[in-house]
Structure 1
Amino acid sequence: MSIPSSLLASESITFEGAIELTESLLSLIEADQLSEADIEQAVRSLVKTQNGARGFFVTYLTDDRQEADHPSPGVVEALRSAPEIVAELLVKNLAMSAAMVVYHSRHQSQEMAAGSARVQKRSRNLIQILQMPACQTLASQMLESLQDGKGEYEEFFQRWGYDNEQKLAIGSAVRSAIG
């Protein structure tokens, strides 16, 4: 069986289109209707563009199904096909989810905090499985920005308004992913 073209992302896919495609893909994976080669081809088509990769990760990392807890070989190989895009999004997802655990915990939203903790765990797991030099580089740059208050990620921290407690959580999460 060859993969349906409806599961392949075009170069012009929108963020919203990538979310929809990833939801369809996850349903087929859960139903065991795709080979690893088909999964790899579909995910590879998504992560080759920024919109596709963003839509893939926002859906894959937050999904209630267990697929993202144990990434299949097809997903892993596909993610390795776009190290620049994938590494940046994984490191940022790790940081943002760590900061959101703190935020939601402060606001007594345990369900939201648990969701953010799941995204954090999944992001860390993927970083560790992929072992991509780009993840190590970006994680190191993020840690430098946390330490110095300047550098590659300082604008990112300022844009999201992270406070000291959130930055400590980010540093801990990043260190645990690359440690």
Structure 2
Amino acid sequence: MTVPLSLSVPESLTFEQAISLTQSLLDQIEAGALSEEDIESVLTRLVSSENGARGFFVTYLTDNRPLADHPSIGVINALRTSPEIVSELLVKNVAMSAAMVVAHRRRQDEAMAANSARTSTRSAGLIAMLELPRTHELAQQMLESVTAGEGVYEAFLKRWGYDAEQRLAIEQAVQPVLSESGENKSLA
């Protein structure tokens, strides 16, 4: 198989282009039009930049299809090629989506709360499958910031205005990630 031209990753990729490209990539994956090598090739280029990785995760983790519930080996291998960018975004996705569950429930929006919970679960699942040492370090830093009110992620937590209940939700979402990332997980 060859990668369609529509899946070429431009040199200077915007966040919006990354979202669009990821939607096309997911459509092609769902249609069975790409080999694992093609998926890995496109996604490796996509997640090599901050904009590309952000656009990928915002689309992949929230997509209604079950693709992110069972990532393919091509997806896993590609994500492992950018450990710093991927680790940072996955830890933040676990935290932010856990906090959003609380926010949505306060507004009695259970559908959105369920979507946020799914995003958090998918992010944590990827962390376990990827086994990136950097993810464990960042998750530990997130946990320290959320529990002590200081540290590497405190500015991030304050910028988003997370209150005590949301910080507790983040703690409860990050703690299992730390437990799992300390164990040996593999894609079976």
Q: TM-score range by the shorter chain?
A: over 0.9
Match of 2:114 in 1: 114
Match of 1:172 in 2: 172
Pair 1:82-2:82 in alignment: yes
**Runs of 4+ off more than 4 Å:** none
TM-score, with structure 2 as normaliser: 0.93
Q: Distance in 1 between matches of 2:122 and 2:48?
A: 20
Q: Distance in 2 between matches of 1:10 and 1:76?
A: 22
Structure 1 position 106, deviation (Å): 1.1
Match of 1:23 in 2: 23
Match of 1:53 in 2: 53
Pair 1:64-2:64 in alignment: yes
Structure 1 position 2, deviation (Å): 2.0
Match of 1:36 in 2: 36
Structure 1 position 147, deviation (Å): 2.2
Structure 1 SS opposite 2:96: helix
Residues 9-31 of structure 1: CA distance to partner in whole angstroms, max 9, x if unpaired? 12311000000000000001001
Structure 1 position 148, deviation (Å): 1.8
Match of 2:155 in 1: 155
Match of 1:104 in 2: 104
Match of 1:137 in 2: 137
Contact 2:15 2:52 in 1 (8 A): yes
Which letter maps to 1:22?
T
Match of 2:11 in 1: 11
| Matched positions, count | 179
Q: Distance in 1 between matches of 2:22 and 2:146?
A: 33
TM-score, with structure 1 as normaliser: 0.98
Q: C-alpha root-mean-square deviation of aligned residues, in Å?
A: 0.8
Q: Distance in 2 between matches of 1:75 and 1:177?
A: 20
